[in-house]
Structure formats: structure tokens, C-alpha cells
Amino acid sequence: MFDMGLIKKISPIIDASKITNGLFAVATAKAEPGKMEEALSALAKIPEIRNVYGMSGEHNILFTVFASGLDELQTLMSSTISSIPDVSSVTYNVVARVVKDEPNVAIRPGQFVRLTCDTCGQEIKGEPVTLLVGDRNRYFCCKPCLTEYKERYGGKITKLSLESK
């Protein structure tokens, strides 16, 4: 699933309620439609901000914050976030209790994984062409991309295939 890009990383899930001297907040803000990407990128660079989402609607940005306390949260909101160009109408609420906190995505029947070609990076439509390299599958949109991949990485493919036996 790493190879397909479905799993980005594996990390521990920490129960925020067990952390002393910290609080979790959910915030929204407005960004002008033409400046949305810049605003999202600027928010994503702030270490205390844990998640950033672009949304539809008037408040088109949602983000979560973990701060050491109210003073830090208020400073972050009034100084750091308010100084980001094209971000306005910042509102936030401190989370008092978490009832359910699940991972963001659950794959259900009828949903599929979007694959991209390991050579050209294009989305694979239909059945992929595959190549087993070592103990991992590589995915391609067409036979010419498979051929190009083999030409580019032929020596490494052979080495990995021998090591996995």
C-alpha cells in the first residue's frame, strides 16, 4: 500500500487528553478564492497547526491547532495567523471533550484506490500493467512506460529480484 501511495506514513496516534498543559482547538477562516492555495500553504507551515483543509462555503478554511495553553493559542491566532495575507475572519473553539476521533479515511465497498504510473506519474485508468520488483509491485499506465522503466532501472530490478529470492 506504500507503493500505491495509499499509505503516506505510519505514526503513533497520541491521545491528546493524556497530555498535560495542552489544548486542542478547531478553527475556521476565510480566504479569497484566488488566494486559497497560498493561504493553505502558509497555515500548513505553522508547527502548532496539525491539519489544514480547504472547503466550500463562506469560511473556506478549517484547521486544527494544538497549543500549550490559552495564552499561546490566543497569540497564535491574533499574531501569527492574522498576519497571513488574504486570511480573514479567523474563529476558533477550544475542544472540551472528544467523543469520537477516528482516522480520516475508511475505505468502503465501491471505493477504489487511485493509482499513478511509476514512470510518467499519470493516473492509471483501467487495469494497470504491473511489474514485481523484489517484493513490491510497480504500476504502469501502459506497456511503453513499463519498457522505459525497465530500461532506466534494469540493473536495480535484477539486483532486487535476486535479493528477494
Among 127, 48, 42, 138, CA closest to 87: 42
Tell me the C-alpha to C-alpha distance, in Å, between residue 5 and each of 26, 55, 127, 132. 28, 23, 17, 16
Higher-confidence residue of 116 and 162: namely 116
Q: Judge if 86 and 120 occupy the same domain.
A: no
Rounded Cα gap, residues 124 and 121, in angstroms: 9
Over range 4-9, report the average pLDDT.
67
Q: Report whether pLDDT(49) > 70.
A: yes
Distance of alpha carbon 165 from the chain centroid: 35
pLDDT at residue 4 in the model: 62
Domain region containing 132: 113-165
Over range 77-99, report the average pLDDT.
91
Report phi then psi at 63, rounded to 5: -150, 155
Q: Judge if 132 and 88 occupy the same domain.
A: no
pLDDT at residue 104 in the model: 67
Q: Is residue 8 domain-resident?
A: no
65, 94, 123: which is the final residue of a domain? 94
Q: Check which CATH number belongs to the domain holding 57 and give it.
A: 3.30.70.920
User: What is the domain count for the chain?
Assistant: 2
Q: Report whether pLDDT(62) > 80.
A: yes
Q: Is residue 7 domain-resident?
A: no
pLDDT at residue 165 in the model: 58
Q: What is the DSSP letter of 123?
A: B
Over range 88-94, report the average pLDDT.
94
pLDDT at residue 3 in the model: 63
Tell me the C-alpha to C-alpha distance, in Å, between residue 130 and each of 2, 97, 115. 15, 47, 11
pLDDT at residue 43 in the model: 97
Contact 61, 28 (CB under 8 A): yes
pLDDT at residue 41 in the model: 96
Cell of 135: 517484493
Q: Judge if 73 and 133 occupy the same domain.
A: no
Q: Could you report the per-residue pLDDT of 119-157, keeping only the tens digit for each?
A: 999 999 989 999 988 878 889 999 999 999 999 888 888
Contact 139, 118 (CB under 8 A): yes
pLDDT at residue 5 in the model: 64
Tell me the C-alpha to C-alpha distance, in Å, between residue 143 and each of 76, 122, 125, 156. 52, 14, 13, 19
Q: Is residue 10 domain-resident?
A: no
CA dihedral 138, 143, 149, 150 (to 10 degrees): 100
Q: Check which CATH number belongs to the domain holding 123 and give it.
A: 2.30.170
Q: Judge if 24 and 78 occupy the same domain.
A: yes
